[in-house]
Amino acid sequence: MRAGLNVNSYQGTRVEKLDIAEDFPWLDPQSQQARDLERFQWFSNGYVAKGKPENSVIDIRYSMLPNEIDPLWGIQLSPNCSRVLHHLGLQESLKQFGFLPEGTQLRHWKTSAILSESKLGDAATLQFGAPYYHIHRGDLLRLLVDAASQQQNISLHLSCNIENFSQNDHGVLVEANNQSFKGDLLIGADGIHSKIRASLWGDESPRFTGNIAWRAVVPTHLLAPGIVKPMSTAWLGPHKHFVHYYVKGGEFVNCVCVVEKKGWQTESWTEPGNLSELKSDFHGWHNNIQQLIDNIDEAQLFKWALHDRRPMTQWAKRRVTLLGDACHPTLPFMAQGAAMAIEDSMVIADCLSVDTSVNLSLIHI
């Protein structure tokens, strides 16, 4: 968790090595600040970092087990985050694992009439400077982990739950899995139920929004040709909507089905769903929706209560900060949860480039 200087612009310019005399002429080359600048150069999207292996170590701790990657579902990466991933050198991996939708459509729940549509594909790249991807979450995690594993200055710790941490003017001490780790900076990217957030600001229960989401993937070969267009499609109906799009190069269709409900509030990625209940929720909807539901494997159907939190006025406290759902959980309606977390990591890296003091850098967050 070594914090150093990031000298990368958001648009993608990367500086491999600093020239202290040229880039920081006001600094004494022999000062501690100058030595710190020389030692630490890094950029990060929360998982991937570059630096000098002999001086800089970034520890990344996952509470997820390796075999928990596969059961996950699709995710949408809009240009505001795909440009960051391209900047980190992941463009070819995203091309390999991602799916490039041609556009978005809103359809009537019963008649299938197109209510609205917009172009993506080349049009999105031309307009925003980066593409719009659909990708399986497991594939995204793998390419990030693979990229991180290739960096000598990154240590990955799987199945690692942070139990406690403390900080002072000199660093952060983290206790996890009966071990202690020291670093300059701790970033809590541990989701809506963040233990890091609770330790900083006190525990506060997330608020149930009155919506639940069904999640499943359907093998494309089980569907009649033309049922699913090569785009992100949202079917809108009374108090419900049904979203589907391709992942894994079109091999599977990712389905997210949101229903307004009261009473059931379990917030979990792995809560099993009941296929009969899902069919009842979307009874009477268009035949395309019925075909998708009929081809869902109930063993791979999950039910998820949607929660959020009140906005925070401050995310960082001294040498500890938060990113993603830990500080600003979002509902899936705009498909921006992962995108904003990836943006957060680039912003944190940019803030760390403002000042060599971690405390002063995090004031900007």
Q: Using the predicted structure, report yes or no on whether residue 282 has a pLDDT greater than 60.
A: yes
DSSP one-letter string for 197-238: HHHHH---PPEEEEEEEEEEEEEGGGSPTTSS-SSEEEEEET
Structure confidence by residue, pLDDT tens digits, 109-125 = 999 999 999 999 999 99
pLDDT confidence tier of residue 183, bands split at 50, 70 and 90: confident
**191 CB-side CA count, 13 A:** 9
Structure confidence by residue, pLDDT tens digits, 27-75 = 455 544 444 334 333 222 222 222 333 334 455 655 554 444 455 689 9
Q: What share of the chain in percent tops pLDDT 70?
A: 76
For residue 3, what pLDDT is reported? 26
* Cα–Cα distances in angstroms (integers) from residue 243 to residues 33, 236, 273, in the given order: 51, 9, 17
Mean predicted confidence (pLDDT) in 90-95:
93
CA 316 – CA 301 distance, rounded (Å): 37
Domains of the chain plus CATH, in order, are 20-65+140-205+310-362 (3.50.50.60), 207-308 (3.30.9.30)
Residues with a known catalytic role: 245
Any idea which of 7-16, 114-123, 226-235, 308-317 has the lowest mean pLDDT?
7-16
For residue 55, what pLDDT is reported? 35
Query: What is the model's pTM?
Result: 0.77
Mean predicted confidence (pLDDT) in 86-106:
93
* Of 312 and 134, more confident: 134
**Is residue 191 a contact partner of residue 325, using CB atoms and an 8 Å limit?**
yes
Beta strands 58-61; 154-157: pairing state: parallel
Element (H, E) at 316: none
Collapsing DSSP states into helix, strand and coil, what is residue 319?
coil
Q: What backbone torsions phi and psi does residue 166 show, to the nearest 5 degrees?
A: -145, 160
Strands across the sheet containing 179-183: 162-168, 171-176, 179-183
* Of 330 and 47, more confident: 330
For residue 43, what pLDDT is reported? 27
- Closest C-alpha to 274, from 240, 303, 254, 239: 303
Q: Using the predicted structure, report yes or no on whether residue 90 has a pLDDT greater than 80.
A: yes
CA 297 – CA 4 distance, rounded (Å): 47
* Of 142 and 258, more confident: 258
